[in-house]
Structure 1
Amino acid sequence: MRSAKGVVRILFDRIVKPRPRAVAGGEAPAAHPRRCELSLWDLSTLSFGYIQQGHLFSLPSGDPPVEVIVERLMSSLSIALWHFYPLAGRLATEMDADGRGMFVHIDCDDQGAGFLLATADGVTVADVLAPSEDVPSFVRDFFPLDGAANFDGRCLPLLAVQLTKLEDGFFLGYSFNHSVGDGTSFSQFLNAWAEISRSKADGSGHLSKPPMLERWFADGRSPIRFPFTHEDQFVERFSPPPLRKKMFHFTGASIRQLKARANEERGTDKISSLQALGALMWRCTTRSRRLPDDQKVGCGLMADNRRRLRPQLPPAYFGNSISVIPFTATAGELLANDLGWAAGMLNQVVASHTDAAIRGMVEGWMASPWVYRFSDLDRHSVLIGNSPQFDMYGCDFGWGKAAGLRCGSASQFDGLFFSFPGREGGCSIDLEVCLPSEVMSSLESDVEFAQVVYTGEKL
C-alpha cells in the first residue's frame, strides 16, 4: 500500500450547473423559487461539517473508460441539480433590523455544484477496503471540501463530488452540506442522481420519486430569526484528537441472533436490530474505556422525525428532520445488567419520541436557539449515526453495485459509530467506528464484541 502522503492528485476542479431543459418532452419547467428558508433543524447544524460519504467501485478491466464515467456523471448531475435546486445554490444571510440577530437561507441562484477529478496512483480497491485493517488515512483525500463547516456554504458549493481514479476502479466521494438536508435527504438525492445516470432516455430527467422541497415550520411561519450576529458566536472549527477509524462487519445472521438475544433477555419483541447493536457497542465501548462505576455514560441514537410527526411529513421531504435521542446510565449500571436491559432502555426512549415530544423540543429550541457543536459531545458517551436502512448499495450509476462504502474525516470523533447496510444485504450492517487507539485495541479483544462481529474476509 502506498503512503498516504501525496497519493491523491487533483486533475481538474469544475462547476456543474443545473440543466433547465432536462425534463420530459424537452420543455423548460417553470422557474424555481429563488429563496429557500431554513428550518430549525437545518439551522442547528450550521457548525457541523458536511456529510461526507462515498462509493467504492471495482472496474478491473478499466471499462468503461474514465472519460465516459466523467461525462455521464457530470451530465446526469446537471439534471439532478435541477430537480434538487437548493443544492446548486449558496447560503445567504441577512441581519435583523435591530442588529441582534440574522436570517439564514439558501439563495437558489444556480451557481452549481463542485466536481473534481483526481487520481490515486498505486492504490487499489483492495487497499481501500482493507477489511482487517483500519480505514487508510488517504481515504480522507477522496473527499472535497474537507474541514468545511456548513456555514461556509455561503461561499463554497453546497454539494461537491470527487471522482478519484484507482488502479482497478474508482472512488466517488460526496460532500453534502448538512444544513441542506440530513442522511435521509442525502440518500434520496444520491439514488435520484443514480437513476438519472443509468437512464437510457438521455435528457428526460424523469424521477420515480421526486423530492418535496418545501420546508417544515412548526407554526407555519418563516423565516426563523437566528440570535447570532457573527459566525464566531456559533461556528466551531473542530479538530479531532488522534483516533483510529475502522469498519466492522456484522452478518445478517449475527444481527438476527443479537436482536433475538436482546428481546429474550428483555422479555419483549419490540427491540430493533439497530437498538440491539447500539446496546452492544455501548456496553463494549464503555468496558473498553475502563471507566469508574459512577461515571455517567450516554448512548445517542439519530431519529428521523418524518413519520413521527402528526401529520406525518412525506418520505420525500428534502431537508433536515432528525433529532438525537439520548439515554444515560452509569458505567456500573450499564455493565452490571445484560444486553437486553441496555437495548430495552434504548427502545423505550425511541418509543417516547412522539409528535408531542418533538414539538416540545421544537418549542424549547425556538425559545432558546442553539447549534450542535462537537465540543458539546461527551467523550464518555457514544453516538450511533446514519442508518443501515438507507439504500446506499441501490445507487447504481450504470456500472453496477459498489464494492464498499466509506466516510470522510468530517464524520470522525471519539465515540462515533456510523452505520451502513452490509453489501450482501439480508439485515447485515457495517459499522464505522472512531475511537482512541488504546480503546479500539481493547474493543477488538472484548469477548462480548468478538462473539458478534465478523472477523473473516469481507463478504
Structure 2
Amino acid sequence: MSSTLVNLISECFIKPLDELSPEAKQPIHFTPFELAWLNFKYSQRGLLFRKPPSPDCFSITTFLNHLQHSLSATLTHFYPLASRFATRKQENPPSYVIYLDPENSPGAKFIYAKAGATVSDVLDPPDVPLLVHSFFDLNNAICYDGHTLPLLSIQVTELVDGIFIGCSFNHMVTDGTSLWHFMAAWSEIFRSGGQSVSRPPVFKRWVLDGYDPIINLPYNHQDQFIERFENQTFKERFFSFSTTAISKLKATANSECNTQKISSLQAVIALLWRCITRARCLPYDCEITCSLMFSTRARLNPPLSDDYFGNPVHIVGGKATVGDLLAHGLGWAAFRLHEAVINHDDKAIKEEVESWIKSPVIYKRIHLFGANLVRAASSPRFDMYGCEFGLGKALAVRSGCTNKCDGKITMHPGREGGGSMDVEVCLMPEYMKNIQSDQELMSYLMIY
C-alpha cells in the first residue's frame, strides 16, 4: 500500500441554505424506536469513486464547492441533520425528556482529507484494510453525543486516483432507509444544480395510539444510562453473491421447506448463519441466535411511508442449537428467520413499543453484541449505487469501524445489480480463516 496516512486538510460546518419556517423550528420528539439507541455509536457508510484521470476535466476545489453548496440545499429539506439534541429536566414533577431542537442548528460537519493510497489499496486486499476506517469521522461518538456533536459528518477523502465520500450519522436520527433517502436527494441536487427534491422527507412522528408523543425517561442524570465502549478490531471481508447464486439459494431454501415464502435476503442470511456457526466450532448443545435489524415502516398498520425520516427499527431473531442448525438444511434455517420476521407484525410491534414506554430500556453493549450471535444489518434493497456525484457509478460501498462485533454481517446490493448482493462479514481472525474453507459457502460464491 502506497500510504496509510490520511491528512485532514480542512473542515467546516454546512447549514441549510434557506431559513427554517416557524413550523420546522418546533422540537422533534424521539419515539421509543429511537430512544432505546442512545448508547449506539454513530453509523458509518461511504462510497468509493474513481477520480477522473485528467486534471483538465476535474478540479478538486470545484468539486468540493459543488458538494458543499448542494449539501446546504439538501439540508434545507433534511434540516434535522444540521441540528443538535436537547434535554429538558425538571424536579417537580420529575421529568427527563431528550428531543431534537431544530432551532439549535450549527450545521453538518464537512471535512476534506487527502491520502496517498490508491483505489487498488482499498479494493484489492482480501480483507478490508484498516485504512478504510480513517475515511470516517466521529469514530468514538455515541448517539447521546448529539447534544454537542454534529448529527451528520461528511468526510471527503481524496486518494491518488479516487474519491471516498464517508458519512457518519447519528443512528437515533436516521436508519438505513433514511440515510440512503438523504444521499439520493443530495445526489439529485448535485446533478441537477437545483434546490428541489423529488421525494421530500416526512417528519411527522409516529405515535402509539393513546400515548403522549413526549416520552419522559425515568432518569435524572445521563450517568444512569450512558455506557461507552471501545471499538474492537476484527477481520472484515466482502463476499459477493451473483444474481444466479442468489436465485439458486432462494430456490433451494424454498424447495427444502415446500414453500415460496422465503425471500432471497432470508436465504443468504441463513447460509451465513450456518457457515459462521461452523467456523466457530461451538458445542452442539450451545444455543445460538441470528438477529435481523429491520424497518417497521411497512409492517405497521397503517404503514409508514418510505419517506418517513427517522429510525423506526426493531430487532427480531431466530434461535436454534448448533446441532439443530447444522443437522438440518438451508431451508430449515431460512424458515426460522422468515417466521421471526412474519410474526413481528403490527400487533407485535405495538405491544413491544407499549411495553417499552411502560418500562424504558436504553440498550447497552450486552443487548447489542451478545456471544455466539450473528447479526444482520442494512439491506440490499437500498439504492446505494444510484447515488452519483458527477463521478459516475461508485466502485464500492464500505463501512467504518463503529458498531462492529464478531458475527456482524452487513448487507449491500451488488454493484452489477440484478438482485446480486455483497455482504461484509466481520469475524474474529480464527473464524475468518475457517469460513474461507467452508464448502457450502464456497459452492455458492463460485456460481457466476
TM-score range, shorter chain: over 0.9
Q: Kindly indicate whether the alpha-carbon contact (under 8 Å) linking 1:284 and 1:443 is maintained by their aligned counterparts in 2.
A: yes
Q: Which runs of 5+ in 2 are unaligned?
A: none
Q: Kindly indicate whether the alpha-carbon contact (under 8 Å) linking 2:40 and 2:403 is maintained by their aligned counterparts in 1.
A: no
Find the counterpart in structure 2 of residue 71 from structure 1: 65
Q: Kindly indicate whether the alpha-carbon contact (under 8 Å) linking 1:149 and 1:235 is maintained by their aligned counterparts in 2.
A: no
Find the counterpart in structure 2 of residue 113 from structure 1: 108
Question: Aligned pair 1:184/2:184, yes or no?
Answer: no
Shift of 1:33: 2.3
Q: Kindly indicate whether the alpha-carbon contact (under 8 Å) linking 1:41 and 1:320 is maintained by their aligned counterparts in 2.
A: yes
Which range moves more in the overlay, 383-392 or 405-414?
A: 405-414
Distance in 2 (CA, whole Å) between partners of 1:367 and 1:31 is 30
Find the counterpart in structure 2 of residue 18 from structure 1: 16
Find the counterpart in structure 2 of residue 194 from structure 1: 187
Q: Kindly indicate whether the alpha-carbon contact (under 8 Å) linking 1:96 and 1:103 is maintained by their aligned counterparts in 2.
A: no
Aligned-CA RMSD value: 1.7
Q: Kindly indicate whether the alpha-carbon contact (under 8 Å) linking 2:140 and 2:231 is maintained by their aligned counterparts in 1.
A: no
Q: How is 1:28-427 mapped onto 2 (pairs within 5 angstroms)?
A: 32-61=24-53, 62=55, 63-98=57-92, 101-109=95-103, 110-121=105-116, 123-130=117-124, 133-201=126-194, 205-219=195-209, 221-376=212-367, 377-427=369-419
Distance in 2 (CA, whole Å) between partners of 1:326 and 1:96 is 38
Q: Kindly indicate whether the alpha-carbon contact (under 8 Å) linking 2:42 and 2:143 is maintained by their aligned counterparts in 1.
A: yes
Distance in 1 (CA, whole Å) between partners of 2:27 and 2:204 is 11
Shift of 1:366: 0.8
Q: Kindly indicate whether the alpha-carbon contact (under 8 Å) linking 1:96 and 1:225 is maintained by their aligned counterparts in 2.
A: no
SS in 2 for 1:328: strand
Q: Kindly indicate whether the alpha-carbon contact (under 8 Å) linking 2:294 and 2:377 is maintained by their aligned counterparts in 1.
A: no
Q: Kindly indicate whether the alpha-carbon contact (under 8 Å) linking 2:52 and 2:391 is maintained by their aligned counterparts in 1.
A: no
Distance in 2 (CA, whole Å) between partners of 1:191 and 1:372 is 30
Distance in 2 (CA, whole Å) between partners of 1:37 and 1:454 is 49
Q: Kindly indicate whether the alpha-carbon contact (under 8 Å) linking 2:154 and 2:167 is maintained by their aligned counterparts in 1.
A: yes
Distance in 2 (CA, whole Å) between partners of 1:234 and 1:183 is 25
Shift of 1:99: 7.5
Counterpart of 2:343, as a letter, is S
Distance in 1 (CA, whole Å) between partners of 2:277 and 2:429 is 14
Distance in 2 (CA, whole Å) between partners of 1:284 and 1:53 is 26
1:156/1:334 Cα in 2 relative to 1: closer, same or farther (>3 Å)? same
Which range moves more in the overlay, 233-242 or 9-18?
A: 233-242
Distance in 2 (CA, whole Å) between partners of 1:229 and 1:99 is 12
Q: List per-residue Cα deviations over 1:406-426 (Å, max 9, x = no partner).
A: 000013111110001110001
Distance in 1 (CA, whole Å) between partners of 2:106 and 2:207 is 26
SS in 1 for 2:245: helix
Q: Kindly indicate whether the alpha-carbon contact (under 8 Å) linking 1:52 and 1:411 is maintained by their aligned counterparts in 2.
A: no
Shift of 1:197: 0.8
Q: Kindly indicate whether the alpha-carbon contact (under 8 Å) linking 1:12 and 1:116 is maintained by their aligned counterparts in 2.
A: yes
1:279/1:358 Cα in 2 relative to 1: closer, same or farther (>3 Å)? same
Distance in 1 (CA, whole Å) between partners of 2:366 and 2:345 is 28
SS in 1 for 2:97: strand
Q: Kindly indicate whether the alpha-carbon contact (under 8 Å) linking 1:134 and 1:245 is maintained by their aligned counterparts in 2.
A: yes
Counterpart of 1:111, as a letter, is P
1:120/1:77 Cα in 2 relative to 1: closer, same or farther (>3 Å)? same
Q: Kindly indicate whether the alpha-carbon contact (under 8 Å) linking 2:70 and 2:193 is maintained by their aligned counterparts in 1.
A: no
SS in 1 for 2:444: coil
Q: Which runs of 5+ in 1 are unaligned?
A: 22-27
Shift of 1:372: 2.4
Question: Aligned pair 1:439/2:431, yes or no?
Answer: yes
Find the counterpart in structure 2 of residue 451 from structure 1: 443
Distance in 2 (CA, whole Å) between partners of 1:120 and 1:226 is 44
Find the counterpart in structure 1 of residue 6 from structure 2: 8
Q: TM-score if structure 1 supplies the norm length?
A: 0.93
SS in 1 for 2:196: coil
1:29/1:295 Cα in 2 relative to 1: closer, same or farther (>3 Å)? same
Distance in 2 (CA, whole Å) between partners of 1:129 and 1:218 is 45
SS in 1 for 2:298: coil
Percent of aligned pairs with the same residue? Answer: 43
Counterpart of 2:129, as a letter, is P
Q: List per-residue Cα deviations over 1:236-284 (Å, max 9, x = no partner).
A: 2222444111111111111111111111111111100110011001001
Find the counterpart in structure 2 of residue 24 from structure 1: none
Shift of 1:193: 0.9
Q: Kindly indicate whether the alpha-carbon contact (under 8 Å) linking 1:262 and 1:340 is maintained by their aligned counterparts in 2.
A: yes
Distance in 1 (CA, whole Å) between partners of 2:305 and 2:90 is 32
Distance in 2 (CA, whole Å) between partners of 1:235 and 1:41 is 17
Distance in 2 (CA, whole Å) between partners of 1:413 and 1:96 is 38
Q: Kindly indicate whether the alpha-carbon contact (under 8 Å) linking 2:319 and 2:336 is maintained by their aligned counterparts in 1.
A: no
1:455/1:240 Cα in 2 relative to 1: closer, same or farther (>3 Å)? farther
